[in-house]
Amino acid sequence: MIEMKYKKDQYINGFSICALIFAGIFFYWGIIGLVDGFRQFGGVNWMSFLWIGIGTAILVSQIAAFTNRSKLKNVVSHEFEHNPNISVEEISNNTGISVRDIRAIILDLKSSGRLKGQFSTQTGDAESMRVEKAEEAIIQEHSKFCPNCGTPISKDEAVYCAYCGSKF
């Protein structure tokens, strides 16, 4: 099994484009400060290294979060490979990953084509989930949609979403 440190809801909250933008801003300030220091003072503006250091710290944390997201996807894929009829709650109990993160991971895996199958609309358990590499897009038009993932709800008596397993 893949070894990792997991904190609650880190998949959803861990990676941020905004943080990458802030890292870029800090790098920009640092580089501009270094250039201006050489131009104006003929030497190094040491404060610029602080900005570059902050930018580096933010960038490294975001790379770590992105890498960890891949590991979490692999863990959830592994659970479906070993038990194609497992429920989201069972995956959470087996892995320690929050149900909220597992649902987000399932949506990412399904949208990338790595996970195929449905969830029971009555029990919320997976029904013959398959982990695949190929991507197939299936588009259906219906009047109701899942509030979590936007998938059309095909059965009026459904209690759980067939795509992401969320309870309605």
Residue 155 lies in a domain: no
| Number of domains the chain contains | 1
71 Ramachandran zone, left/alpha/beta (phi>0; psi -120 to 50):
alpha
**Secondary element (H or E) of residue 105:** helix 99-111
CA of 124: how far to CAs of 1, 39, 57, 142, 158, in Å? 25, 65, 41, 20, 10
Residue 31 lies in a domain: yes
Residue 144 lies in a domain: no
Give the tens place of pLDDT for each residue, 24-57. Answer: 999 999 999 988 887 777 777 788 999 999 999 9
Residue 48 lies in a domain: yes
- The pLDDT score that the predictor gives to residue 26 is 96
């998949």: which residue's tokens? 11
* Distance, CA of 101 to CA of 76 (rounded, Å): 10
Q: Which residue has the higher pLDDT, 153 or 61?
A: 61
The boundaries of the domain holding residue 67 are 10-131
Residue 152 lies in a domain: no
Residue 40 lies in a domain: yes
Residue 168 lies in a domain: no
Give the tens place of pLDDT for each residue, 78-131. Answer: 899 888 888 899 998 988 888 888 988 998 888 888 888 888 888 888 887 888
Q: % helix / strand / coil in the chain, to the nearest 5?
A: 50, 10, 40
DSSP state of 159: S
- The pLDDT score that the predictor gives to residue 13 is 67
